[in-house]
Amino acid sequence: MTENAPAADLGAISFEDALRELETIVAALEAGNVSLDDAVTAFERGTALKTHCQARLEEARMKVEQLRLPADGSAPDSTAPFAVED
């Protein structure tokens, strides 16, 4: 198994790349072709990737909810700024 970037680097990774890496980790763990140490490391990375993906999905959901749609169904004329709560 290849060494992955530390969890601190997750801010720069796109949702799609994080999901793809997570799928690769899951496949490797399911195949059982990794040493115990590599499996633990992969599990830790996978957990960080999962958290990152969930956060990105929540951000997207909040942005969609903040769209202001006119009553007539036309395109939104404005959006509310999105702020991530810590």
In the chain, the number of structural domains is 1
pTM, two decimals, is 0.68
> What is the rounded distance in angstroms from the CA atom of residue 6 to the CA atom of residue 81?
30
Q: Given this model, what pLDDT does residue 32 score?
A: 92
Structural domain including 51 reads 7-69
Q: Given this model, what pLDDT does residue 2 score?
A: 41
| 74: in domain | no
Q: Can you give the CATH number for the domain in which 26 is found?
A: 1.10.287
Cβ neighbours of residue 52 under 8 Å, at least 6 residues apart? 10, 13, 15, 18
Q: Given this model, what pLDDT does residue 70 score?
A: 63
| 78: in domain | no
Q: How many CB atoms lie within 10 A of CB 54?
A: 10
| 27: in domain | yes
| 58: in domain | yes
Beta bridge partners of 79: 67
Question: What is the mean pLDDT of each successive set of 10 residues along the chain, which is 86 residues long?
Answer: 56 93 96 94 96 94 74 68 59
| 39: in domain | yes
